[in-house]
């Protein structure tokens, strides 16, 4: 397995997503194999992440697959947690990336056809109405 690309890609994606979860007061839990967590600790700055706190928005749960007398068992090995600043520190970033809800919504709206968008007047703008529907309403 290519641990390097998996670890870096995962941390970069978490860095972008955990801020949104933080603002919403929700938790993001990453379930990973203990071997991946070991690799991440060796390659990235995880020294500031010790233990798990329930209030942290970013939770890491590491599971291990072990062979026992009754066969293989999957078990929780360790739980860690941090916040968006902690994830940024893991990557060695100095500045935090802010993802605003308006930006997220604008990106989603840009991908949707105008005919299915619904907005509330005063919040974002008027409700978009296809020209044929407007003409029909004027006739009635």
Please give the C-alpha separations between residue 10 and each of 33, 96, 133, 139, in angstroms, as whole numbers.
13, 17, 46, 55
Which stretches of the chain score pLDDT less than 70? 1-3, 94-105, 114-140
Alpha-carbon span 89 to 84, nearest angstrom: 9
Please give the C-alpha separations between residue 5 and each of 2, 44, 89, in angstroms, as whole numbers.
6, 12, 18
Please give the C-alpha separations between residue 18 and each of 12, 27, 59, 66, in angstroms, as whole numbers.
10, 8, 10, 31
pLDDT, position 112: 76
Helix, strand, or coil (residue 19):
helix
pLDDT, position 113: 75
pLDDT, position 87: 86
pLDDT, position 115: 67
In sequence order, the β-bridge partners of residue 64 are 75
* Cβ contact 45:54 at 8 Å: no
Helix, strand, or coil (residue 103):
helix
pLDDT, position 96: 43
């Amino acid at each position: 397995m290519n641990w390097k690309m998996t670890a870096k890609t995962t941390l970069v994606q978490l860095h972008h997503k955990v801020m949104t979860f933080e603002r919403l007061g929700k938790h993001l839990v990453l379930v990973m194999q203990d071997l991946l967590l070991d690799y991440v600790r060796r390659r990235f700055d995880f020294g500031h992440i010790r233990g798990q706190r329930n209030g942290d928005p970013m939770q890491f749960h590491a599971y291990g697959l072990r062979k026992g007398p009754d066969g293989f068992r999957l078990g929780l090995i360790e739980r860690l947690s941090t916040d968006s600043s902690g994830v940024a520190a893991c990557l060695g970033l100095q500045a935090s990336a802010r993802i605003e809800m308006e930006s997220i919504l604008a990106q989603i709206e840009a991908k949707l056809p105008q005919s299915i968008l619904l907005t509330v007047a005063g919040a974002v703008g008027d409700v978009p109405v296809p020209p044929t529907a407007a003409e029909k309403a004027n006739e009635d």
